[in-house]
Amino acid sequence: MLPLLHNADDFELQNALHLAQLSAWAYREDENTLYDDLQKLGYEHFNFLHEGNNRGYDTNVFVTANTNAFLIVFRGTEENSIEDWLNNVDNRSFTYGIGNVRQGFWEASQAVWEQLLEQIRFHYKPTQKLWLAGHSQGGALAQLTARRLFDEKFSIQGVYTYGQPKIGDLLFASSYDNVLRSQTFRIYTEEDSVVKNPPNLYHSGIGVKLKADGLLEIEYFGNIFETAENTFTTIMDMLWDYSTDSLQAHSIQTYLERLSKNVRI
* pLDDT per position as a tens digit, 112-129: 999 999 999 999 999 999
In a domain, 24, yes or no: yes
Examine residue 195 and state whether it is found in any structural domain, yes or no: yes
The segment with the largest mean pLDDT, out of 2-11, 44-53, 186-195, 225-234, is 2-11
| Average pLDDT of the residues in 183-209 | 92
- pLDDT the model gives residue 212: 85
In a domain, 265, yes or no: no
For the stretch 16-71, pLDDT in tens is 999 999 999 999 999 999 999 999 999 999 999 998 765 556 899 999 999 999 99
Decide if 263 is inside a domain: no
Give pLDDT tens digits for 141-155: 999 999 999 999 999
148, containing H or E segment: helix 137-151
Query: At residue 230, does pLDDT exceed 70?
Result: no
Closest CA to 198 of 93, 60, 111: 93
Give domain status of residue 184, yes or no: yes
The length of the chain is: 265
Q: What is the pLDDT of residue 169?
A: 95
Nearest to 23 by CA among 129, 134, 106: 134
Residue 133 domain-assigned? yes
How much is the pLDDT for 199? Answer: 80
Q: First-to-last CA distance in the chain?
A: 6
Residue 144: the pLDDT is: 97
74-100 average pLDDT score: 74
Distance CA 95, CA 159 (A): 22
User: Would residue 192 count as lying in a domain?
Assistant: yes
Residue 180: per-residue pLDDT = 98
Helix and strand numbers (H, E) in the chain are 8, 10
What is the CATH classification number for the domain harbouring 19? 3.40.50.1820
With 0.95 as the threshold, say if the pTM is over it: no
Strands annotated E in the chain: 45-52, 58-65, 69-74, 93-96, 99-102, 129-135, 156-162, 184-188, 206-210, 216-219
Q: Quote the number of domains for the chain.
A: 1
Structure confidence at residue 258 (pLDDT)? 93
Provide, rounded to the nearest whole percent, the portion of the chain with pLDDT above 90. 67
What is the domain extent for residue 96?
13-257
Q: Give the strand pairing for 69-74 and 93-96.
A: unpaired
User: In the prediction, which pLDDT does 75 show?
Assistant: 96
| DSSP string across 210-242 | E-TTS-EEEETT--TT---S-HHHHHHHHHHHH
